Structure 1
Amino acid sequence: MQARDRIGDRYELTYPVGRGGMGQVWAGYDERLDRPVAVKFLRQMEVPEDGREAAVKRFRREARVTARLDHPGVPAVHDLGQHGDDLYLVMQLIPGMVLADLIAEEEELAVARSASIAAQVCDVLAAAHAASLVHRDLKPQNLMITPVGTVKVLDFGVAALLDPAEASRLTATGHTLGTPAYIAPEQAEGGPVGPGTDLYALGCILFEMLTGRPPYDAETALNMLHQHRRGPIPIVTEHRRDVPDDLAHLLFCLLAKDPAERPASAAEVGQLLAPFADGKGARNTAVTAAREHPAVASTQQTAETPRQLHARAIELAEEERFVQAADVLAAALAAHQSPPLDDATRVRLRFELATLRMLGGDSRDAQHDFEVLAREVEGRDSDLADECRRRARACQSGGQPMSLEP
């Protein structure tokens, strides 16, 4: 796969955002609906032949499972298809930061922030468990924190259906699905999984957010599984003294070896976490502009010059793909750091960017851009300032500009 490839005669790839043992995830655009998307590929030829059939079933299951969970904390599924030998799943593109990276950057997160993130995960788990689904692979790498602090739960690829009539393990005999650092004892032993399995993993994640490390440490996966099954439950206050006693007790219960000794439901855990979350704790102030605007990050993956990016943005606008055009033009502006643009050119590009955002339906950002530009050019280009104010008012009333020109 490479940038600018077209998938399903509809989706244009822009840059890779992740890679696993069996495939890749790319950011891209839906050309028909002019919106950013994530395209997840299963590269069948990279899967051992004896496990290929199970991998395909698991991939298709992920599409079905994620699609049926109509919840703001789960990415929306748009499409499922095949490209050559590869299967692909098209989902909502989530800007933000993977929780694992956030922990790596900050080590210990604030108590309120940790509780807020965990409470939002509980809300998603409550919806999944109500739909008879267990995630089975919760971990910081599968949790995305958006720029406004919303938590998205990713990768339901190994989710288990609780209904025995429908359930399929989709795994070879003797293989345990899940990630060793966050796996519940019953899952490590190959036993039946349930809602408590996800709550145990959540406890591991909450422990790591508060301390910067998972609850257990081992040199091998086998030893890690043994720690989960037989190791003593760690006490979080021994690693961090400012954790409130009630929160420490809740975390101890989440990490109970016996599922029956854990809290009864994700909804109950969410209620118990609420007093420790301030509602703003999940906000990721460390998210950079490149993370908030994925297309800006895509310039790091392309050899296109700023001039070429600008020309491409104009071509996209002529095709009425305004959202993608705005992102490409934003990338062109960001790339124009060396040599710097002259002021007149920068003003023109910023006016075009605000107009493209307006045409793409992003009225709030467009209005802000026009108002800022109007103040900056006031006194030296009164005509442009007036036009910026006029278009800012049009953003409020739902009007549309006639062209990219002032």
Structure 2
Amino acid sequence: MLQAGTRIADRYELTYPVGSGGMGHVWAGYDERLDRPVAVKFLKPGLAVEADRHDVVERFQREARITARLDHPGVPTVHDAGVFGDDLYIVMQLVPGTLFTDLVAENGPLPVPWVAAIGAQICSVLAAAHAASLVHRDLKPNNLILGPTGLVKVLDFGVAAVLDTDLPKLTVTGETIGTPTYMAPEQALGSSSVGPRADLYALGCVLYELLVGDPPYLADNALGMLHQHLESPIPHVADSRDDVPAQLDKLIVTLLAKDPQGRPDSAAVVYRQLLQWASAELPDLAKAPPEHSAADPTSPHRFPFGPLPRDTIARARPAASAAPASIPSLNDVHAVRAQALALADDDRFGQAADALQTMLRRAAPIYGQRSPEILEARLDYAGMLMLAGDFRTALVTFEQLITDLTAQYGPEHQAVRECRLQVATCQAELGEATEALRTLQDLLRESPDAEGFPLRTQMAVITAGVGQVDEAFQQLDALLADMRSMFGTDPMEIAEVEALRDHLRRLADEG
């Protein structure tokens, strides 16, 4: 029986269940070898008994191959696949964010620029899939995630049919593949000619729901829903809201055409049309959190169409190893910090950062970003990001900490100085040498001589790293002179700087 802590392939540790779908159930996990979170999808228990096992296994294995073939940022990356006991599994990228079903439930109808930007991203994925002769066949809000940075991910290509195969009617339990609420008429009829335009029909249903708050057709059961798709007049978005451009309303009506030939020629065509309504500045969503949270340290990212409001719709799933789902106490915060330190002792820095981030997303809104306990946990989180090699996220996190620590304790506090130093380290690791040197120079101007010695050493290393070796030697010679004047000739620190200078000299001679 699968449970938290179960290890797969002597590599993947399951942490918490994520959800279930038509083909299987998904667990969040941890890749011990590469120190990263993953999603592990298993064949649903008992599924192979309900249908021909050979067909089920073939379909599940094809999911791994199909998804792995789609090299697109809007499709979760497939890392691995295999067998665990009697279960097949696929190891994939763990995608954070909000399912579109929750997005609409929490925000209601979305602003037109958001819908256009989201729809264009979905079209980008569909265009790549269709170019690879793949049809999703089950596009719906529950298979779409909007991530914290605004990137849309299209999930579950496992029910896709490869256009040039003879398996268009492949099923698990004798039912037509797809979800009735979003199913194209030809797909509902079980046609063998279901192609890319069936995905465009489903896209029309999704766009309609994002704009109106409800799908285009409603019915009490699946049969009634299929009848609506086949026979009912196509609804107009403009009948439900008056701020939708007429041409966008017309586009959605075209996507919902009963005859596939009446729909747009391709996802690429729809992509180009949607771009005209995706504004450079996207408005805040109605129920978005009021301010950016340092617990979810995403810097300002951009759609292909413009900047996103920070942290507008990020959602975190609870980690099984973190605090319970109830309101976290400060004891829970301390417990997760201790757990993160224990994980770090095993070099599991990425997992430690994930545990801290999950806890912070829940606890920071309760206790405040600048409460002492939360600030300490945020410092731990930033440090774990650096140890995990995620210098970009660490840089943003340290910059946010500088602002909040300064407001809480003043600019001269040691923690503020330490964060500024770590900012320089991150900048240097990211190749931003000019910015790193500027940060260190600002710190050096505020430091007494002895406290400035390590800063000067770091500046010399960065200077050498950008090819200015002679200048780095001069900096180290001046530093050694000052250190000897203050300390004499014995301290270990002097020997370390001398060793660094000699090392740079050897590298220069070898170069």
**TM-score, reference length from structure 1:** 0.88
Deviation at 1:396, TM superposition (A): 0.7
- Measured at CA, do residues 241 and 300 of structure 1 come closer, stay the same or move farther in structure 2, by a change above 3 Å? farther
Report the AA paired with residue 311 of structure 1. A
CA contact (8 A) 2:15 2:319 kept: no
Report the AA paired with residue 352 of structure 1. D
Q: Distance in 1 between matches of 2:201 and 2:231?
A: 14
CA contact (8 A) 1:39 1:90 kept: yes
What secondary structure, in the 3-state scheme, does the structure 1 residue paired with 2:3 have?
coil
Q: Does 1:149 align with 2:150?
A: yes
Deviations 1:157-204 (A, max 9, x none): 11111114x645322796311100110011111111111111011111
What secondary structure, in the 3-state scheme, does the structure 2 residue paired with 1:387 have?
helix
Q: Distance in 2 between matches of 1:168 and 1:316?
A: 47
Counterpart residue number, 1:6: 7
Report the AA paired with residue 186 of structure 1. E
* Count of equivalent residues: 398
Question: What are the within-5 Å matches in structure 2 for residues 209-288 of structure 1?
Answer: 209-279=210-280, 281=282, 286=288
Counterpart residue number, 2:349: 322
- Measured at CA, do residues 231 and 317 of structure 1 come closer, stay the same or move farther in structure 2, by a change above 3 Å? same
- Measured at CA, do residues 156 and 322 of structure 1 come closer, stay the same or move farther in structure 2, by a change above 3 Å? same
- Measured at CA, do residues 318 and 295 of structure 1 come closer, stay the same or move farther in structure 2, by a change above 3 Å? farther
Deviation at 1:350, TM superposition (A): 3.4
Deviations 1:218-259 (A, max 9, x none): 111111111111211112211222211111111111111111
- Measured at CA, do residues 254 and 382 of structure 1 come closer, stay the same or move farther in structure 2, by a change above 3 Å? closer
What secondary structure, in the 3-state scheme, does the structure 1 residue paired with 2:37 have?
strand
Deviation at 1:366, TM superposition (A): 2.2
What secondary structure, in the 3-state scheme, does the structure 2 residue paired with 1:216 have?
coil
Deviations 1:85-143 (A, max 9, x none): 21111111111100111011122111111111111111111111100111100001011
CA contact (8 A) 1:116 1:279 kept: no
CA contact (8 A) 1:57 1:170 kept: no
Q: Which moved more, 1:7-16 or 1:21-30?
A: 21-30
What secondary structure, in the 3-state scheme, does the structure 1 residue paired with 2:158 have?
coil
Q: Does 1:117 align with 2:118?
A: yes
Deviation at 1:280, TM superposition (A): 5.3
- Measured at CA, do residues 360 and 305 of structure 1 come closer, stay the same or move farther in structure 2, by a change above 3 Å? same
CA contact (8 A) 2:182 2:202 kept: yes
What secondary structure, in the 3-state scheme, does the structure 2 residue paired with 1:116 have?
helix
Question: What are the within-5 Å matches in structure 2 for residues 128-207 of structure 1?
Answer: 128-164=129-165, 167=167, 169-171=169-171, 175-191=175-191, 192-207=193-208
Counterpart residue number, 1:404: none
Q: Which one scores higher on RCO, CA 8 angstroms, separation ≥ 6?
A: 1
Q: Distance in 1 between matches of 2:209 and 2:325?
A: 36
Q: Does 1:398 align with 2:400?
A: no
- Measured at CA, do residues 54 and 387 of structure 1 come closer, stay the same or move farther in structure 2, by a change above 3 Å? same
CA contact (8 A) 1:114 1:206 kept: yes
CA contact (8 A) 2:323 2:359 kept: no
Q: Distance in 2 between matches of 1:141 and 1:179?
A: 10
Q: Distance in 1 between matches of 2:346 and 2:159?
A: 40
Report the AA paired with residue 320 of structure 1. D
CA contact (8 A) 2:138 2:183 kept: yes
What secondary structure, in the 3-state scheme, does the structure 1 residue paired with 2:276 have?
helix
Deviations 1:349-371 (A, max 9, x none): 43332211111122233234434
Counterpart residue number, 1:375: 406
Q: Distance in 1 between matches of 2:248 and 2:276?
A: 9
Q: Distance in 2 between matches of 1:6 and 1:170?
A: 32
Once superposed, what is the RMSD of the aligned Cα atoms? 3.0
What secondary structure, in the 3-state scheme, does the structure 2 residue paired with 1:56 have?
helix
Q: Distance in 2 between matches of 1:231 and 1:81?
A: 45
Q: Which moved more, 1:345-354 or 1:295-304?
A: 295-304
Deviations 1:55-110 (A, max 9, x none): 32221111111000001110100011111121111111111100111011122111
Deviation at 1:208, TM superposition (A): 0.8
- Measured at CA, do residues 230 and 81 of structure 1 come closer, stay the same or move farther in structure 2, by a change above 3 Å? same
Report the AA paired with residue 418 of structure 2. E
Q: Distance in 1 between matches of 2:127 and 2:284?
A: 22
Q: Distance in 1 between matches of 2:87 and 2:130?
A: 31
Counterpart residue number, 2:463: none
**TM-score, reference length from structure 2:** 0.71
Q: Select the structure of larger CA radius of gyration.
A: 2
Report the AA paired with residue 188 of structure 1. A
Deviation at 1:46, TM superposition (A): 4.7
Q: Which moved more, 1:202-211 or 1:375-384?
A: 375-384
Report the AA paired with residue 60 of structure 1. Q
Q: Which moved more, 1:340-349 or 1:204-213?
A: 340-349
- Measured at CA, do residues 377 and 384 of structure 1 come closer, stay the same or move farther in structure 2, by a change above 3 Å? farther
Deviations 1:7-40 (A, max 9, x none): 2211112222112355321112111111111111
Q: Distance in 2 between matches of 1:190 and 1:282?
A: 41
- Measured at CA, do residues 316 and 236 of structure 1 come closer, stay the same or move farther in structure 2, by a change above 3 Å? same
Q: Identity over aligned residues, as a percent?
A: 53
Q: Distance in 2 between matches of 1:336 and 1:262?
A: 48
Counterpart pick for 2:337 among 281, 287, 310: 310
Question: What are the within-5 Å matches in structure 2 for residues 347-386 of structure 1?
Answer: 347-371=375-399, 372-373=401-402, 375=406, 382-386=413-417
